[in-house]
Amino acid sequence: MSQDSVKNIMSYETVALDDENSALVIIDQTKLPGKVEILHLTEQKDIWNAIYLLQVRGAPAIGVAAAFGVYLAAKRIEATSYDSFYAQFLAAKEYLDSSRPTAVNLSWALRRMERVVLENANKSIPEIKELLHQESVAIKDEDVWMCRQIGEYGLSLIKDGDGILTHCNAGQLATSKYGTALAPIHLGRERGMNFKVFTDETRPLLQGARLSAFELFADGVDTTVICDNMASQVMKNGWVQAVFVGCDRVAANGDACNKIGTSGVAILAKYYGIPFYVCGPTSTIDMSVARGEDIPIEQRPAHEVTEMWYQQRMAPEGVNVYNPAFDFADHELITAIITEYGIARPPFTESLKEIFRKKQEAQKK
């Protein structure tokens, strides 16, 4: 891997639409950091696989990819009546929605696209297709704005020179730009600030070692990769002043579902008296889910644990493997939830409602 490829990763778009060629364009994140490979996906099965196989990943990026994907599906529908068009659109929407169960942004973006179809039943099919195009682009543009806002709010909680620990990847590679948990760091770097960041490896898929470290290093951030079981030691050493993590779904009580291992980091941060911040857009907050226990947890294949990163199998053939993709940090362990409309603090049952009130007021203007 050349140093040029490291420097240039931040200039790539994580997810984009090539409307002229009817393609979803993504970075294949399963190949990083060794190879920067850009995929141009035109078939729905390939877009479904890209989401399922984590070629595109991170809750906001998945939402953007789904919006572009279902628009591309709609673009290909040949129907003379609205009912026929909607039936085919709905099938495409439900197909993409089946790719991953935990990240709420997937279904949120697809429902938003479906609403465009439902609210414009009186328009021609070409007009509906163009409205879907506009909505998918708007979802991406809003994602960039959202990430910058989260970065601004997060940056207000830290100071130049702080040590920050993060788990998984909630950076630019998980969104359209900046990221959520890494947005304060990237935004701070734009302003000449310097942080020392510790990135948990994040087993078994190593999103911290492969992706967070990759983009942080490319952005000139002082970055140290640690194994997941080293987090306690770096906290004990006094090297960490804040923990920033992303989220795939937040329950109404503030329980925050994120990549497996997040709950352990939250427990450690509580023990050492380190603030633990969850960063995510309001689209990731699911007020219909009361608590973390009610969030469906995706189970991943065993080979991700036993074989994926090894030249030879590293566990006995036939041994049982438990491989949940996510866990959740209990709301009692979370210092604050940082959204694009402000910072929510305990009790989250009230502060999250206030965040949504602010959002509604902003959208009326």
| 3-state SS, one letter per residue, for 73-115 | HHHCCCCCCHHHHHHHHHHHHHHHHCCCCCCHHHHHHHHHHHH
Please give the pLDDT value at position 4. 43
Question: CB burial class (10 A; 0-12, 13-18, 19+) of residue 120?
Answer: middle
Q: What is the pLDDT along the chain (365 residues), one digit of tens a residue?
A: 444 444 468 899 999 999 999 999 999 999 999 999 999 999 999 999 999 999 999 999 999 999 999 999 999 999 999 999 999 999 999 999 999 987 789 999 999 999 999 999 999 999 999 999 999 999 999 999 999 999 999 999 999 999 999 999 999 999 999 999 999 999 999 999 999 999 999 999 999 999 999 999 999 999 999 999 999 999 999 999 999 999 999 999 999 999 999 999 999 999 999 999 999 999 999 999 999 999 999 999 999 999 999 999 999 999 999 999 999 999 999 999 999 999 999 999 999 999 999 999 999 87
Helix or strand holding residue 225 (H, E): strand 222-226
Quote the tokens at residue 86. Answer: 């909607």
What CATH number labels 3-144? 1.20.120.420
- Is 219 assigned a catalytic role? no
Question: Do the bridges between strand 23-27 and strand 15-18 make them parallel or antiparallel, or are there none, so unpaired?
Answer: antiparallel
Work out the number of other CB atoms within 10 angstroms of the CB of residue 131.
Answer: 18
d(CA 235, CA 110): 40
Please give the pLDDT value at position 101. 82
| CATH T-level topology, domain 148-364 | Rossmann fold (3.40.50)
- 111-116: long-range contacts, CB 8 A cutoff, minimum separation 24: 112/67, 112/139, 113/66, 113/67, 113/70, 113/71, 114/89, 114/90
Please give the pLDDT value at position 346. 98
List the domain boundaries for the chain: 3-144, 148-364
Q: For helices 59-75 and 125-155, what crossing angle results, to 10°?
A: 170
Q: Which of 97, 248, 255, 327 is catalytic?
A: 248
Phi first, then psi: give them for residue 295, nearest 5 degrees: -85, 125
